[in-house]
Amino acid sequence: MPGLIVFPFAQRPIGRDSRARIPVRPLAPRIAPAAVRIPDPRHVQVEIPFPAGSPRIFVHEGARQLLERKLSQAALKPAILSVTDNCRSMISFAERGGVLRARLHHMFLDAPSSVKDALVRFIASSTRGRRDRDASDVVGRYIDDCSHRIRAARPFLRPLHTQGQSHDLLALYNALNKKYFGGTVDSLITWGRVGARRGETRRTLKLGSYSATERLIRVHPLLDRGWVPRYFVSYVVYHEMLHHVIPAEASGSRRILHPKQFLVREQLFRDYERALAWERTHIHRLLRARA
């Protein structure tokens, strides 16, 4: 589980000049999404009644038909496209009675046209028994880049607690989502639970954590203090939101939790330097504080 762990006088692994060298990849299309998930009712302040058993996503029918037509043209046969919100199978297709039936994750409805072209090439070539490798690579990379749009494999069902005594996590999260992610992040967020530890002084402290299987950000309840500035809580939330959108990278047998893209993006946070400076001067107070 990736998390933000601070140590007194932590050394950041990357220099300030890295921002200039590494291009920041766009995380999400700037256009309105072609499929939206019904928001988790625990994160919606307005009561919206959704009937039980209703579809969990709304799909833009025009976008679905467009992709269905492309598929049919590439496969040279009628195609029926269903759009899913699966968490494991992103693409599946089969041919029955001269009709191509495909089930695709909704991320493909918003895909750039180069990815859509590769997708239909990949499916059409596979149905002919000659899988197009290049097309498959393009599609695979797109799925990796969109991993934050796949729903939780193990949903977190307990109530979420976002309104603290001093800080409202959901308000911070919503503002960050709008400012840095175009509103596309749909992870959950909650204050973590107070640990049982008493009496002893902490040596390290996990200020925030992100669970990919639950799509859940937890923030340490110690930060819910009047003397902890809003921009610092925001920084912790922003850091965990980055874990949601930038998966860990494999490097041999190691997993890099904070790959270059992550570190570059982290520095885009408006109060980045200020937050690190606050952390350096207050870490001992945090370590001594009682939750």
CA-derived radius of gyration, the chain: 22
C-beta closer to Zn ion: residue 59 or 248: 248
- Identify which of 205, 212, 271 has the alpha carbon closest to the alpha carbon of residue 240: 212
Q: How far is the CB of 32 from Zn ion (least distance, A)?
A: 30
CA angle at 112 for the pair 106 and 113, rounded to the nearest 5°: 105
Q: How far is the CB of 248 from Zn ion (least distance, A)?
A: 9
Considering only the stretches 3-11, 94-102, 110-118, 165-173, report the one whose residues sit in contact with Zn ion under the rule CB under 5 A.
3-11
C-beta closer to Zn ion: residue 4 or 118: 4
CB 7 within 8 A of CB 206: no
Cα 83 to Cα 36, 95, 227, 282, distances in angstroms:
12, 17, 48, 49
Q: How many chain residues interact with Zn ion (CB under 5 A)?
A: 1
For 109, the 3-state DSSP assignment is helix
Task: Specify which residues 183 forms β-bridges with.
Answer: none
Residue type present at position 100: L
Residue 56 is encoded by which pair of tokens? Answer: 């969990």
List the one residue from 4, 27, 34, 275 that touches Zn ion (CB under 5 A): 4
Q: How many of the other CB atoms lie within 10 Å of CB of 249?
A: 15
C-beta closer to Zn ion: residue 95 or 273: 273
C-beta closer to Zn ion: residue 169 or 263: 263
C-beta closer to Zn ion: residue 135 or 217: 217
CA distance linking residue 146 with residue 150, whole number of Å: 7
**Max CA pair span of the chain:** 71
C-beta closer to Zn ion: residue 110 or 240: 240
CA distance linking residue 4 with residue 54, whole number of Å: 37
Q: Which of residues 271-290 bind Zn ion (CB under 5 A)?
A: none
Considering only the stretches 4-12, 13-21, 33-41, 216-224, report the one whose residues sit in contact with Zn ion under the rule CB under 5 A.
4-12
C-beta closer to Zn ion: residue 145 or 240: 240
Please report which residue ranges of the chain form alpha helices under DSSP H: 18-21, 61-75, 113-127, 133-145, 169-181, 230-245, 260-266, 272-288
Q: How far is the CB of 219 from Zn ion (least distance, A)?
A: 13
Q: How far is the CB of 276 from Zn ion (least distance, A)?
A: 13
Considering only the stretches 2-10, 146-154, 175-183, 223-231, report the one whose residues sit in contact with Zn ion under the rule CB under 5 A.
2-10
Which residue ranges make up the site for Zn ion (CB under 5 A)?
A: 4
